[in-house]
Amino acid sequence: MSRLIIVSNRVAPISEGGPAAGGLAVGVYDALKETGGMWFGWSGDVLTSHPEGIKLEEHGPVTFATIGLVRRDYDQYYRGFSNATLWPAFHYRPDLIEFDRQEYDGYCRVNRWLAEQLAPLLRPDDVIWVHDYHLIPFAQALRALGVKNRIGFFLHIPFPAAQILLSVPRHRELVEALCAFDLLGFQTEPDLRAFCDYIETEAGGSLRRDGAKPVEVRAFGQTLRAAAYPIGVYPDEIAALAKDGESGRDVEIVKATLHHRKLVMSVDRLDYSKGLVERFRAFERLIEHDSRQRNNVSFLQIAPPTRSDVDAYRDMRFQLEAESGRINGRYAELDWTPIRYIHRQYERPVLAALFREAHVGLVTPLRDGMNLVAKEYVSAQDPDDPGVLVLSQFAGAARELTAALIVNPLDIDDMADALATALKMPLDERKARYGEMMQQLRENNVSVWRDNFLRDLKAGA
Ligand code: GDG
């Protein structure tokens, strides 16, 4: 059997069972254990001088191959072009794009350098699966080194409409680089359509569709295939984790301080794409318009920090602190704080158990490739007394979780109304919606996502 080589910006610290070990990491790691192989990427270390070489760690049939980045590479490749240019553009925020030619050059340089590090470790029949926007030029860089293996790419974030992508300087080079992969995977059909639209209207390429098979793309002198592969979770494992954690210390504390009030809950990295400010205002609108809700419901927002060295993230943190402070100042009572905003990370079992306690999961990104939190919230529910998911129409997950209450996150009243509906939804309706969503989550779990992608990647060989 050919080995699987996973390449991603960060290598998940599976061995530590750390917070990054979510659905994606677990799914990918499972595949690696079955076929044997390697997971290659940045170690997370920022160094003062170039590393001597790759650090290799064996865990059974899986090798973790990691390497540090020097400060300039980190600044240009990771903080700069990946997170201050591509991330806002791909999340439909051209107003937040910062572009610096040197950062772009650094992004391409680091991709070439990483490819040079990996190439000597490859065997001729290895199958290579590259993940996410940090590594768009990676296949092109490997090809330049003479690597002939099958190379696939999965984009975890949205692919923007052509008119948005045009606002990224050097967009044509980026799409040309994407065309060096053998298979491109997107989260949803609209992402795939946006890519195909760019190919036809901007790149002068052509497409061939053949039923349910991946679309054949011809552009920049390359032939490749592209399709949508919505990422999933392992719903039954999350359910078990949530049930196990029911009587844990953190859950007991939350229950004790709620005093039988209802709980609305959200968990997101602190990112402007997640719509946190709009969500805070929607909760405020709920308690503003319906005084009976006051002192009867609390909103818990857990938002672990990310990318705090990118300006837009710092600004957003200040804005959130101001909004939660303002709303609490206006409505809090001696025994009730409307919004509990916690800017830190929790262990995965604690989150799962808290999801199970929450009457409403409020997941309202302005744009999101998929949003695993929505899927995790549903998975964690008690089948006999499930909570209600309120979900943004702009999360990829909304295409599968159609039994959620779907909202427009830019419409504060729409979100407040959905919250009110969710808080008073009768048990029968909650169970019916939950049942429908769980069925969907089981049918398209993370193994299905991974197996479909790898089947198509290998089928083209
Ligand atoms: C990208 C795309 C796509 C969050 N806080 C804590 C914590 N988390 C976990 C969640 C979930 C994961 O992190 C976040 O996944 P999301 O899908 O919600 O969002 P992104 O990080 O933006 O991920 C996204 C995803 O890739 C996969 O393809 O769905 O659209 O943007 O698993 O539970 N985990 C722990 N503590 C926390 O405080 N342990």
Residues 407 and 431 in one domain: yes
Q: For position 284, which CATH number holds?
A: 3.40.50.2000
Where does 268-420 show beta strands of DSSP type E?
A: 297-302, 339-342, 360-363, 388-392, 405-407
Burial 102-135 (b: 16+ CB within 10 A, else e): ebbebbbbbbbbbbeebeeebeeebbbbbbbbbb
Q: How far apart are CA 143 and CA 171, in angstroms?
A: 20
Probe target for ligand 1 pocket from 370, 377, 394, with the most ligand atoms within 8 Å of CB? 370
User: For residue 413, what are the contacts with CB-CB under 8 A and spacing of at least 6?
Assistant: 285
Do 282 and 210 belong together in one domain? no
Strand order in the sheet with 215-219: 55-59, 62-70, 37-47, 4-10, 127-131, 150-154, 183-186, 222-228, 215-219, 206-208
User: Do residue 280 and residue 159 come from a single domain?
Assistant: no
Residues making up the chain, counted from first to last: 461
Q: Are residues 288 and 392 part of one domain? A: yes
DSSP label at 135? G
50 given a catalytic annotation? no
Q: Are 291 and 330 in contact (CB under 8 A)?
A: no
- Is the distance from CB of 215 to CB of 236 less than 8 angstroms? no
Q: Are residues 252 and 201 in the same domain?
A: no
CA distance 111 to 129: 15
Residue type, 361: G
Burial degree of 428 (CB within 10 A; 0-12, 13-18, 19+) = exposed
What is the domain range of residue 352? 235-443
Tally of domains in the chain: 2
What is the secondary structure of 188-249 as a DSSP string?
Answer: SHHHHHHHHHHHHHTS--EEE--TTSPEEEEETTEEEEEEE------HHHHHHHHHHGGGSH
Residue 403: DSSP 8-state: T
63: how many CB neighbours lie within 10 A of its CB? 19
Atom of ligand 1 nearest to the CA of 344: 38
Whether the Cβ atoms of residue 71 and residue 45 lie closer than 8 Å to each other:
no
**Do 99 and 168 touch, CB atoms closer than 8 A?**
yes
Instruction: Report the residue among 8, 279, 372 best suited for mutation to probe ligand 1: largest number of ligand atoms under 8 A from its CB.
Output: 372
pLDDT truncated to tens, each residue of the chain (461 aa)? 789 999 999 887 655 443 345 556 777 887 888 888 999 999 999 999 988 889 999 999 999 999 999 999 999 999 999 999 999 999 999 999 999 999 999 999 999 999 999 999 999 999 999 999 999 999 999 999 999 999 999 999 999 999 999 999 999 999 999 999 999 999 999 999 999 999 999 999 999 999 888 999 999 999 999 999 999 999 999 999 999 998 889 999 999 999 989 999 999 999 999 999 999 999 999 999 999 999 999 999 999 988 888 887 888 899 999 999 999 999 999 999 999 999 999 999 999 999 999 999 999 999 999 999 999 999 999 999 999 999 999 999 999 999 999 999 999 999 999 999 999 999 999 999 999 999 999 999 999 999 999 999 999 76
Claim to verify: residue 300 and residue 433 sit in the same structural domain? yes
Same domain, 280 and 184: no
If DSSP codes are grouped into helix, strand and coil, which group holds residue 100? Answer: coil
Q: How far apart are CA 269 and CA 422, in angstroms?
A: 24
* Whether residue 344 is found in the same domain as residue 320: yes
Asked if 255 and 207 sit in the same domain, the reply is: no
Judge if 291 and 390 occupy the same domain. yes
Distance (Å) from CA 1 to ligand 1 centroid: 32
Of the residues 131, 156, 171, 359, only one is catalytic, namely 156
183 CB burial (10 A radius; 0-12, 13-18, 19+): buried
**Percentages of the chain per state (helix, strand, coil), in multiples of 5:** 50, 20, 30
Question: Which amino acid residue places its CA nearest to atom 20 of ligand 1?
Answer: 371
Are residues 268 and 379 located together in one domain of the fold?
A: yes
Residue 368 designated active-site = yes
Residue 131 shares a structural domain with residue 159? yes
